[in-house]
Amino acid sequence: MLTDSRKGISGISYNHLNLPKQVTINGKTISYTYDASGTKLQKTSDGVTTDYLDGYQYQNGDLQFFPHAEGYVTGDDFEYVYILADHLGNTRIKFTDLNKSGSIEAGNEILEESNYYPFGLKHRGYNNITLPLASTYKYKYNGKELQVEHELDWYDYGARFYDAGLGRFTGIDTLSDEFFGLSPYNYASNSPIVNIDLWGLQAWNVNNKWNDNYIQQYRQQLRNTISFLEKEGIEFTCEDLALELLITYAKDNELPFKWETGSQSFDASSEEYDDFKTFKSDIQEKTGARDFARNTNTTKIEYERIRPGDVVVLTAEGKENPNHIQVISGLFKDEGVLKGYNAVQGNFNWLGRLGSNNPESPYYMGVPIQRGFYSEELDYWNNYSEKKITYDFFKSHYRKQTRKYNFSIWNK
């Protein structure tokens, strides 16, 4: 955004991080200063300078407030103000116990009440009282600071500024190439009741549940994750690679993850596991290829409906149970018709049993990630890593199932 005639904004200049340096609004200016990482250090407007220092906020050199665990401390007498926030982190009520009675009196100890429309615009026309101890603290919707100077009314999310009146950010999302189905200016994937945007980069599900946004993101980030694991030189059996890609993403996004083998159920939220490394090692050691065919873990889908992140469960000829897993990393289509897929894999798990299935064991039989391409039309598997082509791959060598993860079941 460069101008906004609605608000009288005639010009906005940006720095190298695409953060506004100066906003000209109705003939007046608001100037911002940041450090090299983009953290806001100072704001200046109409001779008033606000300095930001790790939660301590100063105005023209005078301390305005500093945070405590449940709110902030402000005023000449260092009054403790407490904040009640909703599930989205919105500041709803500020209160304090001025007379130290141990109870809150509605008349002068409830300092401010704020209610919001879904995209953050504050309700007006009622509960308009804001008492002095609440006036300096401008952190409201999602707990972000409202820029009130000259009625700019933008929220500072860190990576971008947000206009609640529009329900849109004022700058382009630097991660927009990962969410090509959404506007680069969208807020919270257009679902502000269950999502928030922590820093103005991507939506975060406040309920910590798998939804369409997280599933899409998992699929889109798959190639980058594979490349990272390759650079790290980590070795895998086939099922361990599939689990690594999935459960690491679940951990990084604080999403639920459950898995069942023939003899044990694994739940990442269980008190049995006090750290993620132990959980991941335990589940990888005890999971085999056959467990990817369990309906509690995956659901069978038609080949034509596969997408990146889905798995191909392979059963060798003459075998009863699956013994190999491939993770689909890309699709090849011709005029909309699926002709084949790119996939990654680790070592065959029957080789793993000759050594150890435990990734922590020195006898672990993992191998570096192998990439390849399967042609449905010609029925061959081209293993790029081994420079080997296997013809009649499914006709003579394997039976295949294409399956997707039961993301929604893990939410229960």
pLDDT in tens, 270-294: 767 766 778 888 888 889 899 999 9
> Which residue, among 144, 163, 215, 159, has the nearest Cα to 34 in the 3D structure?
159
Q: How far apart are CA 169 and CA 51, in angstroms?
A: 24
Q: How far apart are CA 124 and CA 113, in angstroms?
A: 11
> Which residue, among 299, 291, 292, 313, has the nearest Cα to 401 in the 3D structure?
313
pLDDT (average), residues 116-129: 90
pLDDT (average), residues 393-400: 87
List, in sequence order, the alpha helices (H) in 120-199: 132-135
> Quick one: DSSP state of residue 190?
G
Instruction: Give the number of C-alpha atoms closer than 13 A to the C-alpha of residue 383, restricted to the C-beta side.
Output: 15
Least confident of 151-155, 156-160, 348-352: 348-352
Band (pLDDT 50/70/90 cuts) for residue 106 is confident
Question: Which range in 23-37, 219-233, 268-282 is most confidently predicted, on average pLDDT?
Answer: 23-37
* Cβ–Cβ < 8 Å for 60, 48: yes
Name the residue type at position 139. Answer: Y
Band (pLDDT 50/70/90 cuts) for residue 348 is low
Q: How many CB atoms lie within 10 A of CB 271?
A: 6
Q: How far apart are CA 179 and CA 173, in angstroms?
A: 9
> Which residue, among 11, 155, 15, has the nearest Cα to 1 in the 3D structure?
11
pLDDT in tens, 284-323: 888 989 999 999 999 999 999 999 999 999 998 888 889 8
pLDDT of residue 179: 76
pLDDT of residue 402: 95
Q: Is the pLDDT of residue 210 over 90?
A: no
pLDDT of residue 139: 96
pTM (2 decimals)? 0.57
Band (pLDDT 50/70/90 cuts) for residue 350 is very low
Q: Is the pLDDT of residue 387 over 90?
A: yes
Q: Is the pLDDT of residue 353 over 70?
A: no
Q: What contacts 24+ positions apart, CB below 8 Å, involve 74-81?
A: 74/133, 74/136, 74/137, 75/132, 75/133, 79/133, 81/111, 81/133, 81/134, 81/137
pLDDT of residue 306: 95
> Quick one: DSSP state of residue 246?
H
Cβ contacts of 286 within 8 Å, gap of 6 or more: 261, 263, 264, 357
Domain extent listing, the chain? 9-203, 215-411
pLDDT of residue 120: 95
